[in-house]
Amino acid sequence: MSKYLGGVLLLICLFANGDSAAQSRPNMLLIYVDDLGYGDLGSFGHPVIQTPNLDRLAREGMTLTNYYAPSALCSPSRAGLLTGRIPYRTGIKSWIPEGSDIYLHAEEITLAEVLKSAGYATAIIGKWHLNSDLGSKDEPQPTDQGFDYFYGHNAFQIPTNHNPVNIYRNGELLEAQEGYTADLYADEAIAWLKKQDSSRPFFLYLSMAEPHTTFENPDAYNQRYADYTNGEIIPIPSGLDRIPTEMLKPRGPGEYYANITYMDAQLGRVLAELEESGAKENTIVVFASDNGPITTQWLQWFEVNAHGSTGGLRGRKHFLYEGGIKVPAFISYPGVIEPGSSSDQPLVAMDFFVTLAALGLGSIPDDRPIDGINIEPLFSGRELPARQMFWALESMSDLEYVVREGAWKLMLNSKQEPKELYNLSDDPLEFFNLITDEDKTTQHLVKLFNNYIDSIENDPLRPR
């Protein structure tokens, strides 16, 4: 069956039965935020940061306490989310620099393509970062990969998230946008939602810029956290001809806290629009972070004054320890998911691809490996089948690979040699390397790892 034949047949059935089938399918709002840590929300235990809107969304649905990003960096994480496939299958192994000619290839089928072929209106507002040039005719753009509409940026905001100069709309670079990316994206999302025909379901991928550095905040939000800020606030810009070394002064966590609270307020506006329009009761809302946070263990100049919390987990963004990949997530589905529920079953972003495609009656590709699973059983409190999970990342650590089964997590280096083994049930903070004590477990996980590597190397779509 061709790439779109299943979707075409589905649409024929829908049209034959009138609008009732289309109206019964849920709308979908997928919120993906940038560099938010496991401990960075009130609902996940942060003692200071105020996130009332996201906390309410969590209470209205199911909190996913054992959820993982596909990677500890943004581009591969987004590739996994939108394709349901391990990022290395797509050829995206790290973040994509501008002009690098790295991109998500047209042969990959995104969640937007699946849902669009099933009759959904689709849009991405916010960060894309699945190519190296949003103005290129040679690299696939969001509107080439299933999205009817795109407004947003690529890697990070320039010069900061205030008055950004690198915002595109459907392939066209816009003049400097006045405002902060949080409110710009909320405004755009609300405007797009208002234009939707209630007889047609929608899929909105709202990919926020916050709290990725470098950031600025409205004065009123900085003032809320003034007790956590030292000295005058002077935002550190990116995109300059030189590194602004004179501005690299630690000022405490206040600006980071304010950035998250401001993002929360703008997301609250989008959620309010769903409620006011009457769409809320038939809308699935998924919230997750793309990877772990930048903690106070700064590694690059533009990370100064980020104060992300992993909730005590080891590691941070760029690293495959738990703090780099275990992130906050929750899902709301009125009338289906019990408000205030939670699940500690291991999940990964690729599961959203499979689950949302199934709920939207979309055709999941059967000509390639799909690494996510349908998590609908969770919605009624049932257990998911036992599973294995895999991560790979070319970054700042030599520990490039992870394979997990149950509580056991094996980390291997870039030479594919096993180096560290943890039992996450007994040791969730990854203090105790058991690789010399658990040889049988190590060898079993090495076999699983080799199976993953063989599958990736023989993937029918893997870029060569």
Range(s) for CATH 3.30.1120.10 in the chain? 398-457
Q: Give the pLDDT of residue 463.
A: 78
Domain 5-386: give its CATH code: 3.40.720.10
- Phi, psi (rounded to 5 degrees) for 163: 50, 55
Do residues 419 and 411 make contact, with C-beta atoms less than 8 angstroms apart? yes
Do residues 202 and 121 make contact, with C-beta atoms less than 8 angstroms apart? yes
Residues 6+ apart with CB under 8 A from 99: 132, 133
Tokens of 384: 């998911």
Q: Give the pLDDT of residue 20.
A: 45
Q: Give the pLDDT of residue 127.
A: 98
Identify which of 421, 413, 464 has the alpha carbon closest to the alpha carbon of residue 442.
421
Q: Give the pLDDT of residue 2.
A: 40
CATH 3.30.1280.10 fits 398-457, yes or no: no
- Under-50 pLDDT residues of the chain: 1-22
Q: Give the pLDDT of residue 462.
A: 83
* 54-66 residue pLDDT tens: 999 999 999 999 9
Q: Give the pLDDT of residue 234.
A: 94
Starting from the edge strand earliest in sequence, which strands make up the sheet with 399-405, in order?
Answer: 388-392, 399-405, 408-413, 418-423
Q: Hey, which bits of 23-143 come out as E strands?
A: 27-33, 62-64, 67-68, 121-126
Range(s) for CATH 3.40.720.10 in the chain? 5-386
